[in-house]
Structure 1
């Protein structure tokens, strides 16, 4: 029985993870979980899975849960997340959104716990610190994002020296068929209408701007230790080829399948074994008949080009890129700014940033916080 600590239990990845746990109750047990504010959904999870430990966003929510479930140890806030990952479990599945997942991930590594990582921002912000720490501790970092899981799966049994490059596929998001001139004044509802995947609001907006694909490029660089010159992105609107690799002799290996996040989640939980997926979605190449690929237009999606740039710059630039995006997307979802303002804000934050000397994890966390404060002020003052 593998004991699971799930960060972000009420989100889309969390919900799919719980489905995998429920359908394999002889193999997995949910012992610890975190959520933000969705207490109704969280209470249903608590009653269905009986975790021993829970972390919530606020002290008020913590008191509510303590009163209703006295048998559970309840924590709250960022410190609560860190306390949660110090409890008794075998595998941490980090599915929280944003850089808030960084410190819990590092704590889990220091404790020697294997990690299924769906929180790409952790590696974007601090991959230069996370990867060496995981290697030193002998911790497995198992990718959950469909693209990174695909690459991870096809790399099994492939010699590192045989790899030429990796290719990440991109659906193009909600506005893939729109010109830039058509993005002026688009609504939040329009941006949240992803053609292929059902995801949380933040990641759906990131998909529309292609920031999400940029974050995936930086994450792939760290996870697979591949140079940015050897990472490609290709448009693929059907989202059935989840990503692929090319070997030095030109052979390509790809992972295909239905658009179902339970598959990469389950493989992270059962690694290195593949087991049957309960209620597997039907997938037939014959019924699919055709699939399409096309080059990415980096002028149409400038945030993807900027992600490659900040990735190559390294240091704290990816942290600035990510922090500015998180604040800008939150503002757009609250209808404080326009869709295209997200790009302006990120470009300004990256353009104004000056690298610091002797970068440390503590300095990265400070830069992350400082960037958020600056961007919030820009938005308040309409100065972007």
Structure 2
């Protein structure tokens, strides 16, 4: 029986993971469910899935979680805080970990799972963007298996048959283009948070939806791909593919190109991660290209209208702590945009300002990376305050 810890259980990826797990009650179960602040939703999931452990990141919500579990007559043990979560993913409470906590907050538990040699279903972009070298080194040193759950990286994983030692000549990540595909830079100046989170293909949280709208999400995926598959930035490209049916291409030295296609549903990637090397049912139907319109379109991204993608390539090329600075400044800018404090086009401006001001900083320890993260947030907040004044 595979015991699975789901970090970010109340989010969309958590819901998809629980759906897949529930389809295979004789081979896997959710043993740990973790959430940030949404204690009522976490309690509802515990009543349905009956995990052995439930973790709430917000220590102030611990009593509500503990009492709610007791009132429901559950044996689930309540925990609170990052240290408790790190201990659970590193211990014998689980065999596999779905790392779907949004933002830099997911880094500690992801590293703990890697250092414990777990199967790590990685959906937390920031773990690779902020500390990709350290995470991959930890996984290799401790025998952890990383299966990326982003549809694009999962597609590459499948094209490589799960063998990261296979070195492709080039990889191509596809982007839906988000809700503003085809918009000019001038048109983007007036977009609202409600428009930015209305993704045409995927159901995601507000932060990642804004990242998709700005193409920063794809830029972060470029950095992830570099670490996951050992590919330099110059051999990674991005194409806009509005149908979102081809998730990635992989070119090989012999002239072959492999692509993975499927309906835009996270359960496919999660089923790959939970069942690999076997294929297991995900609940997603097979792709019918005729039913989906019978055509596949591709285009170069517009880097004038969506400069965040170019900023990500710039950070990857700069190396060191630059990706951590990019990520932290972007998190602060997106938060300010969602609060209505800055406009959509101010997001890349805030990120570029932080990269321009960044001192040369190595990425050789978590402390150094967290210091760069804190510095970038300070720079971003100061820039945001000036724009919002």
Structure 1 residue 67 displacement after superposition: 1.5
| CA shift in 2, pair 1:45/1:161, >3 Å | closer
Determine the structure 1 residue equivalent to 2:344: 339
| CA shift in 2, pair 1:358/1:297, >3 Å | closer
Work out whether 1:85 is the aligned partner of 2:89.
yes
Determine the structure 2 residue equivalent to 1:359: 364
1-side partners of 2:37 and 2:179: how far apart? 27
Determine the structure 2 residue equivalent to 1:295: 300
Structure 1 residue 85 displacement after superposition: 1.8
Structure 1 residue 40 displacement after superposition: 2.6
Determine the structure 2 residue equivalent to 1:118: 123
Q: What TM-score do you get using the length of structure 1 for normalisation?
A: 0.95
CA contact (8 A) 1:101 1:122 kept: yes
Work out whether 1:75 is the aligned partner of 2:79.
yes
2-side partners of 1:10 and 1:351: how far apart? 37
Structure 1 residue 52 displacement after superposition: 1.6
1:321-332 to 2 correspondences below 5 Å? 321-332=326-337
1-side partners of 2:351 and 2:268: how far apart? 33
SS of residue matched to 1:198? coil
Determine the structure 2 residue equivalent to 1:24: 24
Structure 1 residue 286 displacement after superposition: 2.4
Structure 1 residue 312 displacement after superposition: 1.2
1:1-384 to 2 correspondences below 5 Å? 1-70=1-70, 71-87=75-91, 88-156=93-161, 160=165, 163-278=168-283, 280-281=284-285, 283-287=287-291, 288-357=293-362, 359-382=364-387
Q: Point out the more displaced range, 96-105 or 354-363.
A: 354-363
Q: What TM-score do you get using the length of structure 2 for normalisation?
A: 0.94
CA contact (8 A) 1:115 1:142 kept: yes
1-side partners of 2:85 and 2:122: how far apart? 15
SS of residue matched to 2:251? strand
SS of residue matched to 1:166? strand
Q: Which runs of 5+ in 2 are unaligned?
A: none
Q: Which runs of 5+ in 1 are unaligned?
A: none
Deviations 1:46-104 (A, max 9, x none): 00111121221322211101112243332223334323323411001100101111111
Deviations 1:139-177 (A, max 9, x none): 101110000000000111779566211110011111112
2-side partners of 1:312 and 1:197: how far apart? 29
2-side partners of 1:53 and 1:382: how far apart? 44
1-side partners of 2:32 and 2:163: how far apart? 35
1-side partners of 2:14 and 2:226: how far apart? 25
CA contact (8 A) 1:311 1:317 kept: yes
1-side partners of 2:387 and 2:172: how far apart? 38
SS of residue matched to 1:327? helix
SS of residue matched to 1:6? strand
**RMSD (Å), alpha carbons:** 1.8
Structure 1 residue 282 displacement after superposition: 5.3
Deviations 1:107-129 (A, max 9, x none): 11222212110001100111111
2-side partners of 1:363 and 1:113: how far apart? 25
How many corresponding residue pairs? 383
Deviations 1:319-358 (A, max 9, x none): 0000011111111111121111111111111111012257
SS of residue matched to 1:177? coil
Q: Point out the more displaced range, 243-252 or 115-124.
A: 243-252
Deviations 1:21-53 (A, max 9, x none): 111111111111111122232111000111121
Structure 1 residue 2 displacement after superposition: 0.2
